[in-house]
Amino acid sequence: MNQTSTYSLQLKSLIVQKWKDYEQLVKLRLNLTVVFSAVIGFGMGAVVENWYMALLLAIGGFLVTASANTINQLLEIDYDKQMKRTANRPLATGRMSITEAVLIAGLHGLGGLLILWLVFNPLTALLGAISLISYAFIYTPLKRISPISVFVGAIPGALPLAIGWVAATGELNFVAYTLFAIQFLWQFPHFWAIGWLGYDDYKKAGFKLLPTEYDGRNINTAIQIILYTLAMVLVGCLPYMIGLCGGIYLAGNIILGVFFLYRGFQLYWHCNNEYALKVMYASLFYLPITQILMYVDKV
C-alpha cells in the first residue's frame, strides 16, 4: 500500500471517528425525537402544509438541542467517567477537547436560536432559550442534588411539541399548554423507568433520578409511575375534547394509554428490572404513535 492510500485511509478513519463523537456529543437519536415532536407540533398549528418551514424548524430545533446536550456533557465530564453507560463519550475519554465542545455548543445554540427568531417569531426563540437553559444549567446540576431534577428536566423535555405549535401560530394559547402538558406528564414514567434500570450506574455518579433518594426501586416509584401515566392518558384526551383531533386519535390514545398503565401495574406487582424495561418500552411506543395519530387525525 502506497503512502497516498495510507493517508487516505487514516483521513477516512479520522472523519468516521469524528462523526461518531459528534453523534454522541449531541445525543443524535434523542435529539431526533425532540425534533420529531417539534415538527408534529408545527404540523398541528400550520393552516397549510409547509415542508420547507418544517425543515427549518427541524434544523433550528436540532441545533438548540445539540447545544443543550453538549453543555450537559461539558458539565458532567467527571461523572460520565464513572458510569459504564457514559464512559466512552468523547469528552470523558479525551477524544474531543473541551475547547472544541464549547465551540460546538456556542455555535449550535446561537445558530439554532437565530433560526427560531428570524424565520419564525421571538416567542419561539424564547421557548427554545428556556429549553436550552433549563436543561443545561438547571436540570444538569440538580441531578446530583435532589430527585426534583426529573420535574425540572421534564420542562425542556415537554417544550418541543408546544414550540412547534408556537412556531406555526405565533400564539402561546390553551392548545400549546395542552400539548405541553401531555409531553410533560409522559416524562415522569419514562425517566423513572430509565432511572430504575440504570440505578446502580447512576448511583456511582451521585445522580438522584428516582422519586426517593435511597434506592427508589420500590412500590412507591411504581405507584407514582401509574398515577402520572393515568394523568397523561386523561390529559391526552383533551385534544379530542377541544376539537383539535378526531376519534381515531382518541381511540389510539386510550388503547396505548391502557397498555402503558398495564405495564405500570406489572412493575407494581413485580418491582424488578424486567418490568421497568417494559415500562420504558411502553413509553417509547406511546409518545411517537400518539403524536403521529394527533397529526394524521387533526380536525
Domain spans in the chain, listed from the N-terminal domain onward: 15-171, 173-299
Does the pTM exceed 0.85? yes
* Cross-strand partners of 298: 245
On the CB side of 6, CA atoms within 13 Å amount to 3
Return d(Cα 42, Cα 198) in angstroms, integer.
34
Largest CA-CA distance found in the chain, in angstroms, rounded: 70
Question: Which tens digits make up the pLDDT trace of 259-289?
Answer: 999 999 999 999 999 999 999 999 999 999 9
Q: Mean of the pLDDT values across residues 143-170?
A: 94
Check residues 63 and 216 and name the one with the higher pLDDT.
63
Judged by phi (left if over 0) then psi (alpha if -120 to 50, else beta), residue 212 lies in beta
How far lies 222's CA from each of 200, 228, 260, in Å? 18, 10, 12
CA end-to-end span of the chain, whole Å? 64
Residue 133 has a pLDDT of 96
> Which pLDDT value is given to residue 214?
74
pLDDT per position as a tens digit, 89-102:
999 999 999 999 99
Quick one: fold of 15-171? Answer: Tetracycline Repressor; domain 2 (1.10.357)
Across the range 39-46, mean pLDDT stands at 94
Query: What pLDDT digit, counting tens, does each position of 212-260 carry?
Result: 767 789 999 999 999 999 999 999 999 999 999 999 999 999 999 999 9
Q: Among 8-17, 71-80, 204-213, 264-273, name the one with the lowest average pLDDT.
A: 8-17
Average pLDDT, the chain: 93
Is the pLDDT reported for residue 53 higher than 70?
yes
* CA nearest neighbour of 132 among 38, 59, 60, 69: 69
Confidence of residue 17 (pLDDT cuts 50, 70, 90): confident
